[in-house]
Structure 1
């Protein structure tokens, strides 16, 4: 989502600082013991791709990350570009333009990589989820419940729909997170929609309610290896900066809300359970600087997240990236976290 504030917002991820100093401002290295909370620590960050270009395309506006089948990283720009990044250095090695069926650009926000090399991409305009080939060709389009469509077709608000997209372990279940509540639902209650894959095609499946902290939305979700979810919650206050919190969420025992027209706090609706892992404002700043007010200069408009593996102690390696909105007051910044779940 492109924030509608006078300045702009944030996202996060990670880069190997020693490899990227030639491409931009140096990333700051830090030991893994740099704790944000008992469950989360930050290794390092990098601004090396900030305000750069690759093959004539601006490298920014990054809204999602995914690990591709060849081990490289896919980085999605909400200006309709999909980059391939070297997993070690994060340098771009290829870029593909994405469009809809008529050739128009997408407001692309969510990304999931399938084992056959194709990619699922969500756009928050309609909203929609499309399957694209490696060269960007549209191969398929998934059904979307009418209530989740942008008004007047549905009850969603423009620019507040499908932000997060993730495949659950096994690759048969796809989950998309709405960023904010539908009209008629309680404020702060957002819907997570799932699809089940049968014979290569995704069909609508269960839907769940997720309650955000006051004033925050959901810019990204990522399934953990055990089927739970890492959920980013994000907000922005002019003159103060961003709030970014990382939660662990569990779909088990949550109520299927696909048949519930309005979510208004019904006692028989069990939302997804969540546990706070870290408020990223509590991370050490590692020498980072901010171009606008922030509660921690490390923060920016964090919007993309992926899990790149595990370390020797079993902690998840989590890469975040911020969306700079191609704005001089914001930064394309990668953060490398270690998360114990």
Structure 2
């Protein structure tokens, strides 16, 4: 509820309360009618206020920010952002797919530091997914191989997790280039790490992507269960985030030239899904129970809030949204921050979207 609604509600309520106290029996019926009218006007005001921010009954857009679009920090381009995480000190960690990890002020988004990341040979990564572990270690995916590596806060390479052969890019495995580990999240309790493939493996049904998990044992992550997730036709999975109750927020995204981006936010539940680590081909006719999902919002329905687009978009608010993090919660509502990857392209925008999501 906005400030003007709160003030109007308080003032109207005070007036009604005063009139009721002063009224005699002859005026009671009129006072009840006045109060009913006030309640109706208050409820209508709340509905209008909600309509200004609502993307759906479950998702609302508080604001957006283009503050970092086409900026630099310490000689490094601030863009190509593919993942977000909340660091131990409350700052935001923002991962560029050009192998840079930024520290951002959570209120202003102003950069306050940048760390370069490299592989074992000192080469840059195609870095896509990010988790800040409980000890401050950074877990980072690269979709080139794909891989999940561990880094210190200063950017020192600490190790690398095992990846199933089938998930490797062909010819080493069955994954398509630029279609592997995009999302990464740590489930509540910190014992299970989950990475989402962006697109289906060769031999799997179109749109059926695999979510791979690792289980922490003795301080190390070992391969765990794997699940099937069915994305909408023509869309891939650029990001996934665990909710406090163990479900998942899943971003689905696609792009059509001349039309623009499709971005949808789903709530998914892996807890009853089949472990597919031993299933060679996911055909849809194999008895596999995929991760269940429920649409929270198609972001084309969000209010544009004055946003502009540099290329055709079905809603000028939209761009190549790729990163997502849960920054806070109250009861059943999550504060969720999204960021778009501008690909260092003049016709794309680095844009942050501040959402409230009811789960």
Shared fold (TM-score, shorter chain, > 0.5) = yes
How far did residue 166 of structure 1 move? 0.2
Alignment match, 2:100: 81
Among 72, 90, 103, which residue is 2:122 paired with? 103
More helix by share: 2
For residues 227-258 of structure 1, give each alpha carbon's deviation from its aligned partner in whole angstroms, at most 9, with x where no partner exists. 00000000000000000000000001100000
How far did residue 200 of structure 1 move? 1.4
Segments of 4+ moved more than 2 angstroms: 30-33
Give secondary structure in 1 for the equivalent of 2:338: strand
* Higher Cα radius of gyration: 2
Give secondary structure in 1 for the equivalent of 2:345: coil
Alignment match, 2:238: 219
For residues 56-79 of structure 1, give each alpha carbon's deviation from its aligned partner in whole angstroms, at most 9, with x where no partner exists. 000000000000111111000000
Query: What residue ranges of structure 2 are gaps of 5+ in the alignment?
Result: 1-48
Alignment match, 2:335: 317
Is contact 1:110-1:162 (8 Å) kept? yes
How far did residue 162 of structure 1 move? 0.2
How far did residue 31 of structure 1 move? 7.4
Q: Are 2:301 and 1:301 aligned?
A: no
TM-score, normalised to structure 1, is 0.90
How far did residue 33 of structure 1 move? 5.5
Give secondary structure in 2 for the equivalent of 1:327: coil
Among 209, 221, 238, which residue is 1:202 paired with? 221
* Cα separation, 2, equivalents of 1:109 and 1:167: 15
Give secondary structure in 1 for the equivalent of 2:166: helix
* Cα separation, 2, equivalents of 1:232 and 1:322: 12
* Cα separation, 2, equivalents of 1:308 and 1:201: 26
Bigger relative contact order, structure 1 or 2 (CA pairs below 8 A, ≥6 apart): 1
How far did residue 147 of structure 1 move? 0.1
Alignment match, 2:196: 177
* Distance verdict in 2 for CA 1:267–1:151, change over 3 Å: closer
* Cα separation, 1, equivalents of 2:140 and 2:318: 26
TM-score, normalised to structure 2, is 0.85
Is contact 1:31-1:43 (8 Å) kept? no
* Distance verdict in 2 for CA 1:271–1:193, change over 3 Å: same
Q: Are 2:61 and 1:39 aligned?
A: no
Matched ranges for 1:1-341 at <5 A: 34-311=53-330, 314-341=332-359
Give secondary structure in 2 for the equivalent of 1:102: coil
* Cα separation, 1, equivalents of 2:274 and 2:250: 18
Is contact 2:101-2:117 (8 Å) kept? yes
Give secondary structure in 2 for the equivalent of 1:90: coil
> How many pairs align?
311
Is contact 1:79-1:105 (8 Å) kept? yes
Is contact 2:184-2:239 (8 Å) kept? yes
How far did residue 314 of structure 1 move? 3.6
Give secondary structure in 1 for the equivalent of 2:300: helix
Is contact 1:60-1:332 (8 Å) kept? yes
For residues 125-162 of structure 1, give each alpha carbon's deviation from its aligned partner in whole angstroms, at most 9, with x where no partner exists. 00000000011111010000000000000000111100
* Cα separation, 2, equivalents of 1:158 and 1:267: 26
